[in-house]
């Protein structure tokens, strides 16, 4: 079994090395290929939400060129497998970190550098949906194939613990507040608060948001938050009432048993 695992790890590393070498060789030798890659980022960033994820975008608009197909396979392997040498891959990727942004996002996630991964997703790609999925499911949820049949490797991963999700959403909240375009900044922050405000601390959110923002931006978030607070308060009241009723029942049962057993004489 150990030999089989080692062989699989070696095979994955060889595949990643092959695909990465193919991509890097193309970027080194062809200015037009570098321009084509850069253009995908520019085109994707200017798309108005709702828009597909960056992975879906480059898959649906894939070039037939060998290096482009190699890159799609590289992203799939980096995102769906863990049996590869991160440091070795990273050392080869870093000279091209401006050109290979999604690859850097995955490797940052593998190293638990989540703040950097979310920064690149927000400002490097402008892939806001994937950034929110990252907070919910972790780095293994990103750049997954969308048109392949379901398999064990394509099933959604187990989400991180709730405290970690909250930390990630708080990081993303701050990144959204740094989006250059004011309209996008307001819209994306409002969407994040309305959809995932339950993961954020309400006092921190209200203290951090710019004072000049209209309350309309926060209306959905405030409504959901107040409803949640009311619901939680009601749940606490119900639990307290149930606990009081249980205590009363236990007390009544104890009194009844003492009466059935008669008096108890205590000698000093």
Q: Give the per-residue pLDDT at 230.
A: 58
Residues 214-262 pLDDT 10s: 888 788 788 767 776 556 555 555 556 556 556 655 555 666 666 666 5
Its pTM surpasses 0.85? no
The mean per-residue pLDDT over the stretch 135-140 comes to 87
Q: Give the per-residue pLDDT at 261.
A: 61
Q: Give the per-residue pLDDT at 246.
A: 64
Percent of the residues in the chain that have a pLDDT greater than 70, as a whole number: 78
Q: How far is CA 116 from CA 62, 217, 260, in A?
A: 27, 27, 70
Q: Give the per-residue pLDDT at 199.
A: 95
The mean per-residue pLDDT over the stretch 134-138 comes to 92
Structure tokens at 32: 């037009």
User: Which of 10-19, 186-195, 227-236 is the least confident region?
Assistant: 227-236
pLDDT higher than 90, residue 121? yes
Q: What is the mean pLDDT of the chain?
A: 84
181: Cα separation from own chain's centroid: 23
Residues 40-99 pLDDT 10s: 999 999 998 899 999 999 999 999 999 999 999 999 999 888 888 898 999 999 999 999
Long-range contact list for 172-179, CB < 8 A, 24+ apart? 172/118, 172/122, 172/131, 172/132, 172/134, 172/135, 173/200, 173/205, 173/208, 174/208, 175/118, 175/119, 175/122, 175/123, 175/131, 176/122, 176/128, 177/208, 177/209, 177/210, 178/122, 178/123, 179/122, 179/123
Contacts (Cβ under 8 Å, ≥6 apart) of 6: none
Handedness of CA 16, 58, 40, 135 (dihedral sign): negative
Q: Which helix (H) or strand (E) holds 75?
A: helix 66-80
pLDDT higher than 90, residue 138? no
Give CA–CA dist 84/10, Å, rounded.
Answer: 8
């Amino acid at each position: 079994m150990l030999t089989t695992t080692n062989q699989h790890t070696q095979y994955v590393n060889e595949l990643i090395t092959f695909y990465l070498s193919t991509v890097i060789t193309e970027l080194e030798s062809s200015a037009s290929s570098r321009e084509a890659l850069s253009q995908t980022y520019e085109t994707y960033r200017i798309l108005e939400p709702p828009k597909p994820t960056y992975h879906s975008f480059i898959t649906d608009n894939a070039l037939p060129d060998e290096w482009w197909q190699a890159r799609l396979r590289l992203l799939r392997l980096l995102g769906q497998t863990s049996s590869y040498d991160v440091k070795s891959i990273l050392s080869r990727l870093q000279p091209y970190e401006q050109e290979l942004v999604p690859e850097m996002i995955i490797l940052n996630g593998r190293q638990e550098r989540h703040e950097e991964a979310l920064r690149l997703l927000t400002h490097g790609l402008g892939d806001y949906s994937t950034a929110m999925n990252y907070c919910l499911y972790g780095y293994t949820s990103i750049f997954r194939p969308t048109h392949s049949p379901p398999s064990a490797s394509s099933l959604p991963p187990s989400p991180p613990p709730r405290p970690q999700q909250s930390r990630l959403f708080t990081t993303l909240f701050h990144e959204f507040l740094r989006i250059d375009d004011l309209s996008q900044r307001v819209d994306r922050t409002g969407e994040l608060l309305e959809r995932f405000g339950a993961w954020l601390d309400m006092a921190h959110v209200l203290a951090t948001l710019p004072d000049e923002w209209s309350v309309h931006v926060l209306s959905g978030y405030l409504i959901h938050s107040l409803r949640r607070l009311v619901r939680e308060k009601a749940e606490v009241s119900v639990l307290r009432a149930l606990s009081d009723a249980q205590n009363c029942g236990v007390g009544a049962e104890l009194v009844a048993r003492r009466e059935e057993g008669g008096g108890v004489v205590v000698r000093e």
